[in-house]
Structure 1
Amino acid sequence: MTSSEIVALRRALGQLRQCVGGLRARYGDVAAVQRLANDVERMDIDATELVDLDRTPRQREAPRVEREVVVVPDTPYDPEFWHDADDEGLGGYRSHRT
Structure 2
Amino acid sequence: MGGLVGDATQLRAVNRAIEELQARVGEARNAYGNIPPISRLVNDVERLRIDAGDLVGVPTRVPEPALTPIQIDNTPADALMWRDADDEGIGGYHGTKR
Specify which of 20, 23, 26 is matched with residue 25 of structure 2.
Answer: 20
Using the TM superposition, give the Cα deviation of residue 53 of structure 1 relative to its aligned residue in structure 2, in angstroms.
2.8
Unaligned 5+ segments in structure 2 are 60-98
Q: TM-score, normalised by structure 2?
A: 0.52
More helix per residue: 1 or 2? 1
Unaligned 5+ segments in structure 1 are 55-98
Structure with the larger RCO, 1 or 2 (CA within 8 Å, 6+ apart): 2
Code of the aligned partner of 2:36: A
Aligned residue for 1:7?
12
Aligned residue for 2:76?
none
Q: TM-score, normalised by structure 1?
A: 0.52
Number of residue-to-residue matches in the alignment: 54
Using the TM superposition, give the Cα deviation of residue 30 of structure 1 relative to its aligned residue in structure 2, in angstroms.
0.3
Q: Report percent identity of matched pairs.
A: 39
Aligned residue for 1:59?
none
Aligned residue for 1:51?
56
Mapping 1:1-98, distance limit 5 Å: 1=5, 2-54=7-59
Q: Give the greater-gyration-radius structure (CA).
A: 2
